[in-house]
Amino acid sequence: MIRAEVTGSERCTAEGITAKTSSPVIGLCQKLLKAGHDPETPMEVYRGATLALQIRSIGEAARLSVGSHGVGFIPRRKVRTGLAHALI
């Protein structure tokens, strides 16, 4: 189990690694994988003393991105296309 701390709206830290992005928990999961952590490892994310989020596995979370309307999560695509803009 990894214990992470989220501060502000763009920073999440665990195991000496910090992610500063608009999706800090997902960014942290990606960085933890790159650092060699087991993808099956669960993570608890705290804001101060309050448990804010439980991650079943950092590998699963690393494959997500925030939904297009800022609500919920969708599978992360490796390459985003401009097709929608081309059809306008």
Give dist(CA 24, CA 16) in Å, integer. 14
Domain count, the chain: 1
CA distance linking residue 7 with residue 53, whole number of Å? 13
Higher pLDDT, 74 or 25: 25
pTM assigned to the model: 0.79
Domain coverage including residue 59: 2-86
What's the number of CA atoms in the CB half-sphere (13 Å) around residue 50? 4
pLDDT at 70 over 90: no
Q: pLDDT (tens digit, 9 = 90+) per residue, 19-30?
A: 999 899 999 999
The mean pLDDT value for 30-46 works out to: 97
